[in-house]
Structure 1
Amino acid sequence: MPLKKSISGFRGTIGGKAGTNLTPEDIVSNVAGYGAWLKESGAKPVVVIGRDGRPSGPVVKALTAATLQSVGIDVIDCDFATTPTVEVCVTRHEAGGGIILSASHNPKEYNALKLLNDKGEFISAAAGARLMEIAAAGDIEYATVDELGSLTTDGTALQYHVDLVLNHPLVNVEAIRAKGFRIVLDAVNSVGALAIPALCRALDVTCETLNGELNGEFAHDPEPLPKNMTQLLERMQESEADLGVAVDPDVDRLALVGPGGTWIGEEYTLATVADYVLRHTPGPVVSNLSSSRVVADIAKRYGQEYHASAVGEVNVVAKMKEVGAAIGGEGNGGIIDPQLHYGRDSLIGLALVLSHLATSGKGINDLRASYPDYEMIKDKKAVSDDYDLASAFVRVEQKFSDVPANKVDGLKLDFPDGWVHLRASNTEPIVRVYAEAPTVARAQELAQAVMAEL
């Protein structure tokens, strides 16, 4: 994969030539740019770093830490750490920022530098643009020998994160412990193998771990989608466990499986959590435009407002802050609870799901059956590099002029029984097409009707 630079960080495959992949030169130049931006912004010259289980992690971490030190920034190393663990540790240490060394759901040959601000949140578009400008100019002033940054380790980062979850006002620790829950976890050979069992031990939950060797040799495609979860689904068919859980390599996405191998899925993770949170803490709910309508249905059930943001965690967080959301996230299983921190977090997601099960007296399959049924499809349409997408969107909107349209991020049409969302890809000459309806056939029908206008 060519090196991809965006406002939130830098991603690519390990090896190859500089400028085309994520090579040592690319890591050093971009981390130095981040360090220079941090100092220019006046933030405290301290950065928290952590990594997932990828084989390239030790090398990428060493290059990252040494580069930050070389621009005069102190480094606090959490080593193996989930993305949300690094995020909460930025504020714990009152650091100026953080860097997460993880390519999320991408295969093992990938790695990435995910960049945080002093709030432990992904940096803004303006900050990202300025950072890339500094990195591209290459005019970095490195520290003298007496000004080099220090390197310390934080061996208690995970425990700190777990303690935050246990102290969350909506996590009913006593009720969970009293139930004696059993779960099956697919840790996909990454840091979930450390984090989720640690949380379970604290809650007296029995955790059986599949793919628990923390070696980054992912046993399957690491994105927590049904087609990749055959091992977990089969184990849940045989097991008497109350819940199956799948996380991605950096543990910011959470997918659920019910007893008997019932796929609950990523889209219904946020719905399940929102159902529990709104029962106790009324307030607006936010998800992105490509997330399931079921989240809006849950908000309506509790008489609360629903708001849709542009796709991307930074956009969801901005909308949550704007409307004072009680809960939010993304349909990919990313739970954002503002009472903990503004970042997708599978630990708080799991704790809230278990609290819901413990206090409702219902199993996860029963909860899923109580929510509306929707089916989602994801398609794409190839276009030429000079394709006039703006005009195409106008054409689509005119064709469906009687359908409410949202143009915050591409074009989303809200039909009475479903929706279609069109977005330009940031990396390929394609238009991404997402559609949802009560059945797959209806979702496909809606998508094809809209795509015909492209």
Structure 2
Amino acid sequence: MARLFGTDGVRGVANTELTAELALALGRALARVLEERGGGQPRIVVGRDTRASGELLEAALSAGLMSAGALVVPLGVMTTPGVSYLTGALGATGGAVISASHNPPEYNGIKFFDPQGRKLPDELEEAVEGLVAEAGGGAGFVPPVGGAVGRRQAAADAGDRYLAHLRQVAGTGLEGLRVVLDCAHGAATPWAPAAWQAVGARVTVIHDAPDGTNINVGCGSTAPQALAQVVRQQGADLGLAFDGDADRVIAVDERGHIVDGDAILAILALDMAARGELAGNTVVATVMSNLGLERALKAAGLRLVRTRVGDRHVFEAMEQGGFVLGGEQSGHIILRRHAVTGDGILTGLALAAVMVRAGKPLSQLAAVVQPVPQVLLNVPVTRRDGWEEEPSIQAAIAAARQRLGEEGRILVRASGTEPLIRVMVEGDDAALVRELAESVAGAIRRALGSPAD
């Protein structure tokens, strides 16, 4: 069986790749693994985003959990960071969220959390995967009967707990701030407006009518242009665009300019450092973050630690180093004193608090980062494995590095979820960056692309 878990849980086209049968098997396996590792009856918090397939997969996953004797705490539509927070706050054994994040509506995914709300470690994912591979739930599995069968266990105050957590992070002073929220027709829809209204902001909400098929379509963090237009039209102070499960946020300043995750990290880092709250004067980001972020932090006497792509790797480096701020250019920001995963709503509130403390508009704060030209190309390939051994690809990368010199970077990696090889090149010469990115992408296309390419 091919590996189920990718960089962010199990993901695929719902009802063909990610089926009800697979969701049921995953639920049964998770319950067994958590019971064996922790002892006692597992209690699992389950939430989902607004995709049409979410109800189907939630029912199947919950049935699998209960078939192995677990209690299921259903949250309904809830953000991924909300599920993470509530897993810990409700004292659950683990958590599960059904979402494909920023992916198109036909996709869905399932990812699991440990009792602290952190993404399940590799060894437990492997244990779950091993049981899924065994027919009937695994060798020696005896289904519980009678009163031992799992049941649903509601937590009526779960949403209120999450909103109280967000409000506590925001603090005070945001009254009257004019904010436009793009909910991406996703899981942020019930929660982001409520959180901002609770802190007294003047809120306009767009893309908040999910129908199961419109999540992330022309809206949200992957398409913030509509948000930028509304911010300009309304003269708002701030715009925030979430992705489908609201673990990411991209901001828009009062002029309608996009403020990405790199700029958000810099703004938060400088504020935290000035208040003595930036542990180790260090920010953690991935290899995809722009050199402009690294230069801005260095100019302020701060350090950037880079990791592999993926919020899991960012969080691991933060834990190991005792650091409190990290994230990705995509807007997945982790404020480790408040959360163990990225939370777009929480990040937006924290960003607004910096604006209020500084008494400056977002455009002025974001100007600290001067991005260098960066080109990212996604090359469709017939296979993702083995590209490192292709001589023609390695020759093209080596030639590009030589021409780029010390003032730029080139990164080539396989996508963790799609049949793509990603090529990123950045440097001060925009024309050269584009030329070198196209050159490497061309070598990959010739070596691994489909005949139609």
Say if 1:432 and 1:401 are closer, same or farther in 2 by CA, change over 3 A. Answer: closer
Q: Which of 354, 357, 360 lines up with 1:356 in the alignment?
A: 354
Show the 5 A alignment for 1:260-279.
260-279=255-274
Q: Distance in 2 between matches of 1:105 and 1:424?
A: 18
| 3-state SS of 2:153 partner | strand
2:309 maps to what in 1? Answer: 311
1:245 corresponding residue in structure 2: 240
Following superposition, the deviation at residue 144 of structure 1 comes to: 1.9
Partner of 1:409 in structure 2?
none
Give the alignment partner of residue 196 of structure 1, picking from 178, 181, 192: 192
Look up the equivalent residue of 2:289 and give its one-letter code. S
User: TM-score, normalised to structure 2's length?
Assistant: 0.87
The residue that corresponds to 1:108 in the other structure is: 105
Task: Assess if the C-alpha contact under 8 Å between 1:6 and 1:128 holds in 2.
Answer: no
Shift of 1:402: 7.1
Q: Which amino acid aligns with 2:348?
A: L
Distance 1:64 1:451, change over 3 A: closer
Task: Name the SS for the 2:265 alignment partner.
Answer: helix
Kindly state the Cα deviation for residue 397 of structure 1 after the two structures are TM-superposed.
7.2
Write the deviation string for residues 133-183 of structure 1: whole angstroms up to 9, x where unpaired: 111113422222221123122233233223223333xx4x33323xx2011
Residues 360-408 of structure 1, C-alpha deviations (whole Å, 9 max, x = no match): 11111111223223333211345564755146576567657879xxxxx
1:176 and 1:358 in contact (8 A); partners too: yes
- Residues 16-35 of structure 1 deviation map (CA, whole Å, 9 limit, x = unaligned): xxxx4222212112222222
CA pair 315-418 structure 1, distance change in 2 beyond 3 A: same
Which of 94, 115, 118 matches 2:115?
118
Answer yes or no: is the 8 Å Cα contact 1:278–1:326 preserved in 2.
no
- 2:412–2:422 CA contact under 8 A, matched in 1: yes
What is residue 36 of structure 2 aligned with on the other side? 40
In structure 2, what is the equivalent of residue 410 of structure 1? none
Pairwise CA distance, 1:324: 1.2
Which ranges of structure 2 fall in alignment gaps of 5 or more residues?
445-453
Amino acid of the structure 2 residue aligned with 1:143: P
Contact 1:320 1:328 in 2 (8 A): yes
Whole-Å Cα distance in 2 between the matches of residues 57 and 263 of structure 1?
31
Task: Give 1:52's aligned residue.
Answer: 49
Check 1:59–1:146 CA distance in 2 against 1; reply closer, same or farther (3 A cut): same
Instruction: Specify the alignment match of 1:425 in structure 2.
Output: 415
Give deviations 1:406-452, integer Å, cap 9, x for gaps. Answer: xxxxxxxx954332111123455542111233464343134246557
**CA deviation after TM superposition for structure 1 residue 199, in Å:** 1.4
Tell me which amino acid in the other structure corresponds to 1:9: G
**What SS does the aligned partner of 1:151 have?**
coil
Aligned partner of 2:24: which letter? V
The equivalent residue for 2:153 is 152
Please name the residue that 2:451 is paired with.
none
1:165 corresponds to which residue? Answer: 166
C-alpha contact 1:7 1:125 (8 A) present in aligned 2: no
Backbone CA RMSD of aligned residues: 2.7
The alpha-carbon deviation at position 12 of structure 1 amounts to 2.1
Q: 1:436 maps to which residue?
A: 426
1:341 is matched with 339
Are 2:24 and 2:61, in contact at CA under 8 Å, matched by a contact in 1?
yes
Note the C-alpha offset of 1:262: 1.6
Task: Give the aligned length.
Answer: 433
- With over 3 angstroms needed to count, the CA separation of the structure-2 counterparts of 1:439 and 1:78, relative to structure 1, is farther
> Within 1, Cα distance between the matches of 2:334 and 2:101?
17
Query: With structure 1 as the length reference, what TM-score do the two structures score?
Result: 0.87
AA aligned opposite 2:208: G
Query: Matched residues in 2 for 1:33 and 1:234: separation?
Result: 47
Counterpart in the other structure of 2:388:
389
Say which of 73, 77, 80 aligns to 2:77. Answer: 80
Which position in structure 2 is the counterpart of 1:95?
A: 92
Q: Which residue of 2 aligns with 1:407?
A: none
Within the alignment, does 1:229 sit opposite 2:219 as a pair? no
- The answer on whether the counterparts of 1:381 and 1:430 sit within 8 Å (CA) in structure 2 is yes
